[in-house]
Structure 1
Amino acid sequence: MQTTFNLSPLIRITLLSLYTALTLPIPFLADVTNAPVPSTWLWAGFVVGGIFLYGALNEKVLLDDDSIQVTYPQWFRLISRKGWSLKWSDIAQLKMRTTGQGGLVYYFVTPERDRAYLLPMRVAGFAKMVGIVAEKTALDTSDVRPLSQPWMYMILLSVTALLGLVDIWTITTAISL
């Protein structure tokens, strides 16, 4: 039996919206300010960056009776991230680490201790996924929590919407000049 966990739609929408809100006005402003970089290059950069972000945000976590696998769309694996796969029997422990911002992340550690694999923490159905991990590995996952709570992304999405309104004004002003 295989179970698939996709990246949370709230996280995907928030990050794609934030990327758009932060970068979309740049080519318009380059034209208005006679920037040394042509706006066509900036448009190309915007599209390429969007493609890479979209590919990264299409991460999938696949769990079956034998293993856990993190994978990306085929086209994205050819140009960037390959993903990883780990058999349940190869997992010796789940190690907690703090991030630079003070959050907690968890790594699967193999018996050789030469490799660590980041537990995907931004998937929809995180609690269910952690339950399956606990069942398949017999590791204690009672303290494992998602890296960020949905309310954090709701705040970021709200601020991004406000930034989008400023972008509309900026682009409208730039076009009218």
Structure 2
Amino acid sequence: MVENFKTLFIVKSSLISLYLALTIPLPFVSNGNLKILSIFAFIVGLFLIINITNDHVITSEEGISYKTSLVSRILGKKGWKISWEEIVSIKSFPTSQGSKVHYFSTSNNKNFLLPQRIENFKTFLSIISEKTKVQIKEISYLSPLWTYKLLTFISVLMVVGEVIAFKYQMLSILNL
């Protein structure tokens, strides 16, 4: 059975909201000729960030594949596909933040990053365990999900603050 695992919504929303919080003010603070350029750059950047957060994983009876968007491929992030029979183990490595990243290790000594920011992660892990018989007990999300929620919350607060500041700035310019 073919299953599709998309990037977690909270991961997408945290990255997009952070982008918005950091870039929304730029068209308003740029002057003259740069205003149109900054609006154009803002729109292009938003298009890029939305596209690069649309990677997904597909599992089937034959194997597992990681699909990237056209924009991700242009920027150098490649997809991959491996059969279940090729996977011999899962290697784990610590990160500097205290969590672990995991790699599928194949029979031809290649390593593929195990996606850890996807929806239905437990289902994904159970499929891996069932198809490969590899131990998956210690595999979890790369970062606790609350970190993405906190980043989204702070980013939204920044956007709200920017809107309020802009409103008051416009009112003071108009002497209202």
Tell me if both proteins adopt one fold, taking TM over 0.5 as the criterion.
yes
Residue matched to 2:131? 136
Report the RMSD for the aligned CA atoms in angstroms. 2.0
Q: 1:145 aligns with which of 131, 140, 143?
A: 140
Structure 2 partner of 1:61: 57
Structure 1: gaps of 5 or more residues:
none
- Deviation for aligned residue 1:79: 2.8
1:103-153 C-alpha deviation (Å, 9 max, x unpaired): 21101112232x311111111101110110111111000111111222222
Question: TM-score scaled to structure 2, two decimals?
Answer: 0.87
Question: C-alpha distance in 2, partners of 1:43/1:79?
Answer: 23
Q: Do structure 1's residue 124 and structure 2's residue 119 form an aligned pair?
A: yes
Residues 90 and 174 (structure 1), Cα distance of their counterparts in 2 relative to 1, 3 Å cut: farther
In 1, are the aligned partners of 2:7 and 2:56 still within 8 Å (CA)?
yes
AA aligned to 1:8 is L
Cα distance change, pair 175–70 in 1 and its aligned pair in 2 (3 A): farther
Secondary structure at the aligned position of 2:30 is classed as helix
Moved more, 152-161 or 135-144: 152-161
Identity %: 27
Moved more, 42-51 or 85-94: 42-51
Between 1:122-131 and 1:76-85, the stretch displaced more is 76-85
Q: Is 1:38 aligned to 2:42, yes or no? A: no
Partners of 1:156 and 1:108 lie apart in 2 by 29
Q: Distance in 1 between matches of 2:170 and 2:112?
A: 48
Change (3 A) 1:87 1:175: farther
Cα distance in 1, alignment partners of residues 166 and 107 from structure 2: 55
Stretches of structure 2 that go unaligned for 5 or more consecutive residues are none
Figure out how many residues of one structure are paired with residues of the other and give that number.
171
70, 74, 81: which one pairs with 2:66?
70
Residue in 2 that maps onto 1:8:
8
